[in-house]
Amino acid sequence: MHKPWSVVTVAGVGLMGGSFALALRKAGFHGKIIGVSSPAAIEAALERRVIDEALPLADAAAQSGMIYLAQPIEKILETIARIDQWVAPGTLITDAGSTKAQIVACASQNIRRGRFVGGHPMAGKHSRGVSEADADLFHRRPYVLTAHDAELENWIHQIGARVVILDPAEHDRLVALTSHLPQLISTALGSSIAAEREAARVAGPAAIDMTRLAMSSYDIWRDILLTNSGPIDAVLEAFISKLQDLRATLREPSLRAEFDRAAAGAHALRGVELL
């Protein structure tokens, strides 16, 4: 029997964990929210009333019906490896990590008393910290789960997100294309612009829009790149090949077909976003 969500623990009270806590409150959760994080994050979270109290992980886990791991991926893996000893049978443990295969594999080896469902909200900002937490961060965004869980899915719907169920490996393959590759493209463009001293003087909205992700911190992306290097390498290879094709057809009328395909893909993305 699953323990009800009268108490929720958020481990990692930053942008994502803080936003999830605020979103739960806005959606009607009336239980207690416990924070597990650094002293500075806890102080800010208490001041903003994102959480009700702070406890060590062992004490928080023992009384929680749901535990939300919003830490860096390496820390999520460390937490999963030891948390099961503290939870009551049936406690839901989920995460917000940007890659899923290694996390779900770690959970399958270590979670016995609790039940684990991998998660990845496709939302965020380039800025960090609980001061940036937003109750509407997940609104109308995809929220990937690696397995069905009725209670978790209900709350995800309540916070305004759209549930997508994906196998962990398929998730990692798809987000390598739709999330990790855009980051690397933006990083490469930002680095190229930085190397050309006069470029900023003539840069317009295109350069500004395309380099937004380049402001993201490597500290966030290090674990993502390490835990999804295979799929990322594959999409980089395909993208480089696409650039070479575009280069070869710069003066050819056939390039129109590529523009048409790209426009169709861009419109399709925006259509799904509005669902």
Q: Which fold has domain 7-166?
A: Rossmann fold (3.40.50)
- For the chain, residues classed under CATH 3.40.50.720 are 7-166
Residue 1 in this model has a pLDDT that exceeds 50: no
Single pTM value for the model: 0.91
Residue 23 in this model has a pLDDT that exceeds 70: yes
Residue 274 in this model has a pLDDT that exceeds 70: no
Please give the C-alpha separations between residue 271 and each of 143, 191, 259, 265, 266, in angstroms, as whole numbers: 17, 31, 18, 10, 9
pLDDT at 79: 98
Q: How many CB atoms neighbour CB 247 within 10 A?
A: 8
Average pLDDT rounded to a whole number, residues 131-143: 96
Average pLDDT rounded to a whole number, residues 256-269: 94
Q: What's the mean per-residue pLDDT of the chain?
A: 95
For domain 169-273, give the CATH superfamily.
6-phosphogluconate dehydrogenase C-terminal like domain (1.10.3660.10)
Query: Among candidates 4, 114, 131, which has minimal Cα distance to 69?
Result: 114
Q: What is the pLDDT of residues 80-129, one digit of tens each?
A: 999 999 999 999 999 999 999 999 999 999 999 999 999 999 998 877 89
- For the chain, residues classed under CATH 1.10.3660.10 are 169-273
Instruction: For residues 112 and 267, give the distance between their C-alpha atoms in angstroms, rounded to a whole number.
Output: 44
What is the 3-state secondary structure of the chain?
CCCCCCEEEEECCCHHHHHHHHHHHHHCCCCEEEEECCHHHHHHHHHCCCCCEECCHHHHHHCCCEEEECCCHHHHHHHHHHHCCCCCCCCEEEECCCCCHHHHHHHHHHCCCCEEECEEECCCCCCCCHHHCCCCCCCCCEEEECCCCHHHHHHHHHCCCEEEECCHHHHHHHHHHHHHHHHHHHHHHHHHHHHCCCHHHHCCHHHHHHCCHHHCCHHHHHHHHHHCHHHHHHHHHHHHHHHHHHHHCCCCCCHHHHHHHHHHHHHHHHHHHCC
Q: What is the pLDDT of residues 7-20, one digit of tens each?
A: 999 999 999 999 99
Average pLDDT rounded to a whole number, residues 146-174: 97
Pairing status of strand 66-69 against strand 7-11: parallel
